[in-house]
Structure formats: C-alpha cells, structure tokens
Structure 1
Amino acid sequence: MPNQTQSPASILGTNVITQIGILVHDIEKTAQAYADFFGVEKPPCNWTDRADIAQTEYRGKPSEARAMLAFFDMGSLQLELIQPDEKPSTWREYLDEHGEGPHHIAFVVEGMKEKVMLMEGQNMSLLQKGEYTGGRYAYMDTFKDLKIIFELLENDK
C-alpha cells in the first residue's frame, strides 16, 4: 500500500506539467481565437485515431470515442484543445457535466502500468486509456482530491 505522504514526484516520477487540456464545443473557432490572441498561426485540427488503432477504453470497456484535437506549443507547456464526438468518453462526460474549460493537466511518465497501479492505490481510478502514434495515454480520476483530471503520457523510446 503506497504511503499517504508520497509526493507527486515519487508517484509519477515527475512534477513537471507538460500539457493543459481544454474541452471545447467548436475547436475551429476556439483555435482561431487562441491563434489571434497570441499572434500565432492556427494549428491544424485533427481527429484522434480510429478505435482499432487507438484501442480506447473508457471506464474499463472498449470505446469508439474520438475527438478533434489542436495543439499550441507555449514554451515549456503545450495547450491542447479537445472537441469530443458524442460517443462515451471522459471528454464527452466532462464536457456534458462541466461545460467548456479545463479538462486535464498532463505529465510525461515512464512505466505507465506501474504509475497507473500506484495511483489506483491512492484511490485515483483509471478513467480512460488509449494509444497514439508514438505512445499511449491514461486519464486518472484525480478530480475528487485535486480538482482536475491527471493525464499520464508515455512516449515510445
């Protein structure tokens, strides 16, 4: 059983936030608003991989859910805009319950399975996981204690 006083760095192996994810209803409009505000080019908005590639699981069950994503590199931090489809996912559930706005903060980790198990030992359950080109992700239910979802990102070596 993990020690209740373990630091985030000892659980995750890092305390460096790499990304903030924001849920939106209209990604094209919101991405353009960010681009205009920061005086940068609007990034492309692309769909996540199909379910057969992404192997998405939501609340322990396979999910066909996809989302349109746009990424802004903001120095040491990446801003991710997320427009989910209607299929069951943490994105859709959170957008329906909380409206547009922050969904997660992300951390790059090594040893995803171990990190997920450590967090589950802290009563932070796995909400959703999947694959992307070059790695995998896991959304952990940290909302009760930390008021936002944590996303773990593990990139292939």
Structure 2
Amino acid sequence: MDKNLLGTNIVTQIGIIVKDIEKASQAFADFFGVEKPKWNWTDGYDKSHAEFNGKPSDARAKLAFFDMGQVQIELIEPDENISTWREFLDKHGEGVHHIAFQVKDMDEKIEALEKNGMPLVQKGDYEGGRYAYIDTFSKLKVIIELLENF
C-alpha cells in the first residue's frame, strides 16, 4: 500500500449514527456540560448532488455538531432513503460510522484509495465544500470521510 494516502494524519471529525438526534444530542450535551446544538437537515439532491454507489441519491440526514477542540463530533440521523448512513444503521445499529480528515485534491485522494482497494461509497456537496465516504471498513473497521472545503 502507498504511504499516507490522505496526505494528513489529523482527525477532524468523528461521525456517529443515531436513531433519534434529539435524544442523542441531549445526552452528549449533558455529558459534556454544554448547550444542546440545533440540528439541521442535509441538503436535498438539487444542492448536494449526492451519489450513493455511483447513483444519484435523495437521501438526507439530520446533523448535529459538537466542536470539541481539534475534533468535531457529528451526530447523524438518516432518513429512510438508501445511503451510507441508512445502510450503517440497518446493518450495525447506532454507533461510530466514520472518522473524517480534511484533505486537498479530493479526487486524487479518492483515486489513490480506490487503487488500494478502498472504494468510494458516497459523495456530495455542502455549502462551502464537498465530502466523500470511502469504504475502509474491511481494513480499518470504520469508514473514512474526506472533507474538502473551498
């Protein structure tokens, strides 16, 4: 395997799949002694251009974020549409879904990862950037998310 396929080793986010974002975000807020963040919906396909397994996806999710210094905790409650989030919840239940890294040249990173047996599962845009989930589960026991801000 090539060395440092991401060009970084700094974790920026841990994503956790939950069934009930209100309950989960309140539990995290209570645990950390902070105010419960407001959750928001991911954009629909018209803005996100989301793809799951290479096909356009209408999947959306409720997201809540806790900024914890260097690492952000992201809570994700998926809707019923097929996505990496829904698939994870259906197969594994609630739990850690991904570890995210901020990268440059995302397309180059995706290509390098795919060449090393780690395929792209889902990608999309968000205001100010884009994301990609890479199936590293068989090797790393967790999915890797690439984040590229513009």
Match of residue 94 from structure 1: 88
- 1:148 paired with 2:142, answer yes
Matched position secondary structure for 2:123: strand
CA RMSD of the aligned region, Å?
0.6
In the alignment, residue 126 of structure 2 is paired with which amino acid? Y
State the shift of 1:105 in Å: 0.1
- Runs of 5+ unmatched residues, structure 2: none
Runs of 4+ in 1 over 4 A off after TM superposition: none
Cα shift readout 1:9-53 (whole Å, capped 9, x = no counterpart)? xx1110101000000000011000100111001111100011110
Match of residue 17 from structure 1: 11
- 1:83 paired with 2:77, answer yes
TM score, norm. by length of structure 2: 0.99
Q: Provide the C-alpha distance between the structure 2 equivalents of 1:99 and 1:105, rounded to a whole number of angstroms.
A: 17
Q: How many residues align?
A: 150
Q: Percent sequence identity over matched residues?
A: 64
Cα shift readout 1:74-118 (whole Å, capped 9, x = no counterpart)? 111000000000001000001100000000000000001000000
In the alignment, residue 114 of structure 1 is paired with which amino acid? E
Match of residue 130 from structure 1: 124
TM score, norm. by length of structure 1: 0.94
In the alignment, residue 105 of structure 1 is paired with which amino acid? I
Matched position secondary structure for 1:88: coil
Match of residue 44 from structure 1: 38
Matches within 5 A, 1:51-130: 51-130=45-124
Q: Provide the C-alpha distance between the structure 2 equivalents of 1:119 and 1:34, rounded to a whole number of angstroms.
A: 33
In the alignment, residue 88 of structure 1 is paired with which amino acid? I
